[in-house]
Amino acid sequence: MTEQRLHLRMNGHRASAKAGKNLYLYQHFQQNGHNFENATVQIIDYIDSNTVPDITKALGDLEQFWINTLSTAYPLGLNDNIKGSGNISQSSIIDVYFTARITRYNRGHGRKSHLRTEKRKKKIYKDNEEIEQVKRNIKNDFMLNKNIFYKKITSLQNRQLKQVYKSCGDEIGFFYNVFRSWVHTFSPPKTRTPKKDTDCIIFNFSSKALDHINLNSIVRDTRVQSFLPNNIIPFCPLKVYYKYDLPLGRRICNYSNFLKNLDSSQIRSILDGSCSCTNSPFLYPPRGHVLTGNLGIVADDDLRLLMSYGTKYREPVYLSASDLSNSLLRDVDNFIKNKSRKYKLQNNSFEDWKNNVNRIINNKIKFFAEHKPHLFSSKTSALKEHNVKSCLDALKDKYIICSVDKASSNYVFICKKLYVIILMTELGVDLETLDCIGNTTYQPVVRTEDDIIISHCDILSGEFGIDVTDENKCIPKIFWNPKLHKTPYKARFIAGASNCTTKQLSVYVNKALKVVREYFSRYCSTVYKNSGVNCNWSINSSTQFIEKLQNIDVFNIQVYDFTTLYTNLDLGVVEKLLSEMIDLLFSNINKYICISKFEDKSFFSKKVYNNYYCFDSELLKKAIKFLLQNTFVSFGNIILRQTKGIPMGGNSSSQFADLSLAKSEFDYQKSLLASKKMNLAKLLSNNGRYVDDLCVFNYLNFANLISDIYPEDLVMERSGDNNKDINYLDIRIKICNGNISTEVYNKVEDFNFPVVMYTFPNGNMPVNIGYNVFYGQLLRYSNICSHVSSFVFSSNKLYCTLVSRSYNHWQLVLKFRTLLRNHPHILLKYQICDAKSIEKDIFKIDLTV
């Protein structure tokens, strides 16, 4: 369908076919013996735009009518964008793609048709072997010649089709999806029931025995649910969530306690004292001190094994039967207490439900205590064993133990003297006198920590209506994590703002700016519709980047990184850019941004609401200015204020950075429009930026434009020098002879030591989390990988990793099959007629991985 002149539309198709864009229509003309010049065009229907109120909808409905009438939906034809099903080429289909109804016309059978009908009624397949043979023939025809497949399948009776359909069972593949859709032609597809709001119950994951007890099956049992009060039943089935104990890294890493207790005398003692780094095999020569992620530095075997699981690992806990029962019953009581308050009920209205839940829980615990007593044999933490504890204490005395940048599950050991020196150098503290001179980014303040906290509390309460909690009455410490993927190793400095005076305001501002970002995107979409120029380069994810990649002709790519965004950008410029964006989007209709105090909900509104924190434009500007101008960090006895750069570690830091850059890019694109430089504006419209990582398509001189687009304080570095083979986010992109291929890329592959990733089944978390991770990663791989070979390679690599950690082979296979059923576009994207063809390649053990 088109509203364009026909010759313009066909010129567009011709250009796309030559470029080989990722649509089946255009891919068709890339095959041998096919050429767009040999194509003919025939108008089969039209609509007078003066006769219908909505021409676009009318054209869409008419196009769908002809797709169904002529049976041109892929794979029988080349229509791959089916209304109600999605676009198969763009991997965005819903359920089975082939939901377009395929017409079976009534056919005449001559004068004695009634006699033939009687014979045909008796023609059914008598045994399974005959059915399997018919299915094999149909499948072969489908793979070899779609035209023969079409003729053969239309020649079958409905009852024969249904016999073959039943024999397919749960088999997965492109062929099976198409075949099932054909059978569904004769019976309407099942409609999905809309999701409803459900409530939840929270349990502490206090023992590995919970993997066997399966609390989900107890809580969601319909018989048990029937005992709940009537107010809660509409929000059933209840979701089960777990709380976990502290991960191992919180108990092993010592950087936080080190900085918390650091004072001038300790700093002096560390700087004047000697270290044994020069004699250590783990010395990092460029720094002259120990800086390593090699666990060989850990002398004790038990501690080394424990740390090899990573910082996020939780030691398995095995409670006695009575302790586990008491823990679960406390969680049930907490649920009753919370829901009684929420729904304004009496506690005794839950009595029947509580008794039934407790009875089933106790019966299950009793059963497993009898048949699997090892689940209830309590063990002490390995960290409490004498040899482990003494080894860990010795390591903490000599080194700072923290996590690695971009590989947060890995431990790194840093000489304390080196750790302090790098912090002092960054903050501008003299190494000899310990006087804090400061620098362009950090300036010392003469006010005490208590004075700053009191001042913040007064301002937040008086101007923003926020009361600072006791846990937030503190100034964040500044710390650093090493970047071991850089050569030489570099440092990422972070203000540990998990608790600080500005915490709550920063949370509200972050949510408000997410609304601003959403509406800014809508505003830019309107500009794009009117001008054809995209003024918003910001993207949310690699999925959005893949969609951008598929919709443009790409000849070369460059990737840039902002190296000084968080340390050198002028705060006045940030405030100015954000204020201009706020003025652009706020109006009499969008007068307030309302943020729920109890739910994850925020929106523009004409009025304020109760139980919502509401920003008007002036209050939001004031909040942004306050956060930018009041970023304080502490080091030892020194308090400093960050005067340049976007503070890293705050809740709203990422939004500050993204929207500041987005406004700069918007202004530049608008200036190109004003100066009639349409070609350059449209060329730059393809750019994509994820926070501080920018990807530029088809423009090799972008480096010359950087100073015109962005504030002068920003420095950008290009990543690599190859325009045809680049890494961006988690994607590796290769351009060869005009064809683009994408595959999975992971930065941890650049590390010179093994990086800990994913979970371990023996940790104190539900084992099902690991299988869900496998499911989610395979879905991500399918979105990224353009070829089935790279999808199989990445999937097999992940499978081998999980199997080596004792995850069950068949559980992983079942997750894979579930993935293909839930996301059939994977089969269609890779033209997989039978999932068994790749299942055997994914689920094989490669000992070299």
Three-class DSSP category at 357: helix
Distance CA 548, CA 544 (A): 6
Q: Model confidence over 414-444: pLDDT tens digits?
A: 999 999 999 999 999 999 999 999 998 999 9
Do 668 and 708 touch, CB atoms closer than 8 A? yes
From the CA atom positions of the chain, what is the Rg in Å? 32
Nearest to 424 by CA among 476, 480, 474: 480
Confidence of residue 73 (pLDDT cuts 50, 70, 90): confident
Percentage of the residues of the chain whose pLDDT score is greater than 90: 63
Q: What is the pLDDT of residue 98?
A: 47
Q: Model confidence over 184-224: pLDDT tens digits?
A: 655 444 455 566 778 999 999 999 999 999 999 999 999 99
Rounded mean pLDDT of the chain?
A: 88
pLDDT surpassing 80 at residue 743: yes
Q: Would strands 632-635 and 688-690 be described as parallel, antiparallel, or unpaired?
A: unpaired
Confidence of residue 401 (pLDDT cuts 50, 70, 90): very high
Do 646 and 567 touch, CB atoms closer than 8 A? no
pLDDT surpassing 80 at residue 381: yes
Residues 6 or more apart from 101 whose CB is under 8 A from it?
68, 185
Distance CA 522, CA 603 (A): 14
pLDDT surpassing 70 at residue 113: no
Do 198 and 216 touch, CB atoms closer than 8 A? no
- DSSP letter string, 294-353: -GGG---HHHHHHHHT-TT--------HHHHHHHHHHHHHHHHHHHHHHHT--GGGGHHH
Three-class DSSP category at 79: strand
Per DSSP, 671 falls in state H
101 Rama class: left (phi>0) / alpha (psi -120 to 50) / beta: beta
Confidence of residue 226 (pLDDT cuts 50, 70, 90): very high
pLDDT surpassing 90 at residue 825: no
Helices marked H in 184-295? 210-213, 215-219, 222-225, 248-252, 255-260, 264-272
Q: What is the pLDDT of residue 100?
A: 44
Q: Model confidence over 116-129: pLDDT tens digits?
A: 555 555 467 777 88
| Token couple for 189 | 């597809």
Q: Which has the higher per-residue pLDDT, 318 or 825? A: 318
DSSP strands (E only) in 333-483: 399-404, 407-415, 442-444, 478-483
Question: Nearest 10 degrees: CA dihedral of 810, 766, 755, 490?
Answer: 150
Q: Considering the entire predicted model, what is its pTM?
A: 0.84
Confidence of residue 478 (pLDDT cuts 50, 70, 90): very high
Q: What is the pLDDT of residue 822?
A: 85
Mean pLDDT of 79-87: 66
Nearest to 565 by CA among 462, 647, 638: 647
Distance CA 655, CA 509 (A): 9
Do 557 and 701 touch, CB atoms closer than 8 A? no
Distance CA 832, CA 823 (A): 13
194 Rama class: left (phi>0) / alpha (psi -120 to 50) / beta: beta
Distance CA 615, CA 543 (A): 32
Q: Would strands 200-204 and 239-243 be described as parallel, antiparallel, or unpaired?
A: parallel
- DSSP letter string, 476-505: PBEEEEEETTSSS-EEEEEE-TTS-TTHHH
| Token couple for 735 | 């351009």
- 3-class SS letters over 611-624: CEEEECHHHHHHHH
Do 665 and 642 touch, CB atoms closer than 8 A? no
* DSSP count for the chain of H helices, then E strands: 32, 23
Do 415 and 294 touch, CB atoms closer than 8 A? no
Confidence of residue 164 (pLDDT cuts 50, 70, 90): confident
Q: What is the pLDDT of residue 88?
A: 59
